[in-house]
Amino acid sequence: MSELSKIAIIGGGLAGCECARKLSHAGVAVTIFEMKPEKYSPAHSYEGLAELVCSNSFRSDQPDAAVGILKQEMREMDSLVLEAAEATRVPAGKALAVNRELFSNYITKAITEDENITLVHKEITSLDAEELAEFDAVVLAAGPLASDALSESLAQAIDATHLYFYDAIAPIVTADSINMDIAFWGSRYNPEDTDYLNCALNEEEYHALREALIAGEKAPTKDFEKEIHFEGCMPIEALAERGEMTLAFGSFKPVGFTDPRTGERPFALVQLRTENLNKTMFNLVGCQTKLKYKEQDRIFRMIPGLENAEFVRYGSVHRNTYVNAPETLTTELALKNRPNIYLAGQITGVEGYVESAACGLWVGTLLAAKAKKLQLSEPPAETCLGGLLAHLRTEQKNFQPANVQFGLTPALNRKARKKERKALYAQRARETFTAWLEEQKETLDDCCL
């Protein structure tokens, strides 16, 4: 009998269901512990599995978009989530959107009718719960709103400083959309530093930006997020409201800088920190925000040097339980100090419906191969799935969840016009994934496809 003949999954969301179906196809007995309808998180209300809480959109289906390519990679790995999405699709232009209830019903039916999957409606409050004792491995796929008790158990299993409960995310822009005639390199007191770009503001520009931040339309705060306004998670617009010079004395402090255009210290300054090794993306330091996306487009482009900024991720401040994956997880997404416990979905440090499902799909595929004692190599970093997985093991000073994006994959290492790069990244990703599938065909066929 296989050493992984019985696996428990905590959570019946996108990642958990994706993982369970993949294991079932390998002949592994799976038990999903889902606390609904016995108990609901503050954000959930529907009894079915894989409930979509926020948007009903799985974002772009365009063949040159990173998320579109990730979805195609998932389809080729027999994704239950995308099977359900296609079956319950509603018109949404170039995006893949679904009817929420029909989508949940489809996945619930697929799971409950699978003879290898047992669905238990029970809350698991500890990684050491007696209900888990009989299983060879446990997959924690509890999502970004994992219960307090389960989160506390996870914190005890790892260094609690590596478990986060809130995201304070600043926008990220592409490097080649920054006006380098205005922005300049350097960190405070170290002009030779090339980890930061700086955008200087004069007095008039600073006050106009502050007023726009205060007046900008904000995304509504959900009931379960109302406790998030502590100092380390304060939205920039809330800081701006505190006083006329709060930002200039805080995250926009110009001390230690000289604007090369004027030879003088700026009135205020916005720093952009490099987001990846290739320096193709930059994070707007201190600009975490609850502004609506269209407002972020408008207001942050008021910063000199960002007038034509291309956003690859917008800012947000919201409840999200996740681990510092590079510090706490193995390359197989198991806890380093408890290797029979795997994590899947947003709790690993990926962001978004598609990314969470992709993570669950990969963990299920990996465990299916292990159950059959087969060797399975990870998708190369040039693929969108491989790039997302690489993010989870790349150490950073401030690890934060990431959506799939080409910036997570290696640089092209060739010159190309800006408008051609996305297509080149897309082409490389598709060709590399196709080659990987062919190389792993025998293993994938034997274990779960």
- Answer yes or no: are the C-beta atoms of 167 and 39 closer than 8 Å: no
* Residue 185: strand pairing partners: 197
Q: Is residue 246 located within the same domain as residue 294?
A: yes
Query: Is there a binding annotation on residue 437?
Result: no
CATH of residue 208's domain is: 2.40.30
What pLDDT sits at residue 356?
A: 97
Q: Is residue 253 located within the same domain as residue 392?
A: no
Q: Is residue 265 located within the same domain as residue 184?
A: yes
* Predicted confidence (pLDDT) at residue 104 exceeds the cutoff of 70: yes
Helix axes 14-25, 353-371, angle to 10 degrees: 30
Task: For residue 110, give the nearest of 234, 176, 18, 228 by alpha carbon.
Answer: 18
Query: Is there a binding annotation on residue 216?
Result: no
What pLDDT sits at residue 413?
A: 82
Residue partners of 306: CB distance under 8 A and separation at least 6: 173, 177, 178, 179, 199, 300
* Predicted confidence (pLDDT) at residue 106 exceeds the cutoff of 70: yes
CA dihedral 225, 230, 231, 235 (to 10 degrees): 30
Q: Is residue 117 located within the same domain as residue 52?
A: yes
- Answer yes or no: are the C-beta atoms of 221 and 290 closer than 8 Å: yes
Cα separations (Å) of 171 from 58, 271, 315, 376, 416? 20, 12, 4, 36, 25
Query: Is there a binding annotation on residue 12?
Result: yes
Complete DSSP assignment for 212-281: HHHHSPBPPPPGGGGGG-SGGG--HHHHHHH-TTTTTTTTT--TT--BTTTTB--SEEEEEEE-STT--E
Residue 382, both tokens: 């040039």
Residue where a domain stops, chosen among 256, 289, 314: 314
* Residue 274: strand pairing partners: 282
> For the residues 346-366, what does the mean pLDDT come to?
96
Q: Is residue 308 located within the same domain as residue 440?
A: no
Q: Is residue 69 located within the same domain as residue 37?
A: yes
Residue where a domain stops, chosen among 314, 333, 350: 314
Residue where a domain stops, chosen among 281, 314, 347: 314
Query: Is there a binding annotation on residue 435?
Result: no
- Answer yes or no: are the C-beta atoms of 233 and 298 closer than 8 Å: no
Residue 32: domain span: 6-164+320-447
CATH of residue 368's domain is: 3.50.50.60
Complete DSSP assignment for 341-392: EEE-SGGGTB-SHHHHHHHHHHHHHHHHHHHTT---PPPPTTSHHHHHHHHT
How many alpha carbons fall within 13 Å on the CB side of residue 268? 22
What pLDDT sits at residue 2?
A: 46
Query: Is there a binding annotation on residue 374?
Result: no
| 338-343 and 137-140 strand pairing | parallel
Q: Is residue 257 located within the same domain as residue 276?
A: yes
Residue 30, both tokens: 């799976």
Residue partners of 314: CB distance under 8 A and separation at least 6: 171, 293, 296
Query: Is there a binding annotation on residue 149?
Result: no
Q: How far is the C-alpha of 47 from the C-alpha of 285, rounded, in Å?
A: 40
* Predicted confidence (pLDDT) at residue 387 exceeds the cutoff of 90: yes
- Cβ neighbours of 413 (radius 10 Å): 6
pTM of the model: 0.78
Complete DSSP assignment for 134-157: T-SEEEE---TT--HHHHHHHHHH
SS3 45: coil
Decide if 426 is inside a domain.
Answer: yes
Q: Is residue 257 located within the same domain as residue 152?
A: no
Q: Is residue 30 located within the same domain as residue 154?
A: yes
> For the residues 370-391, what does the mean pLDDT come to?
96
How many alpha carbons fall within 13 Å on the CB side of residue 255? 6
pLDDT single digits (tens) 137-186: 999 999 888 888 999 999 999 988 778 766 667 899 999 999 999 999 99
Q: Is residue 13 located within the same domain as residue 158?
A: yes
Q: Is residue 50 located within the same domain as residue 65?
A: yes
The pLDDT > 90 percentage for the chain reads 69
Question: Who wins on pLDDT, 60 or 93?
Answer: 60
Number of separate domains in the chain: 2
In this prediction, residue 6 has a pLDDT band, given cuts at 50, 70 and 90, of very high
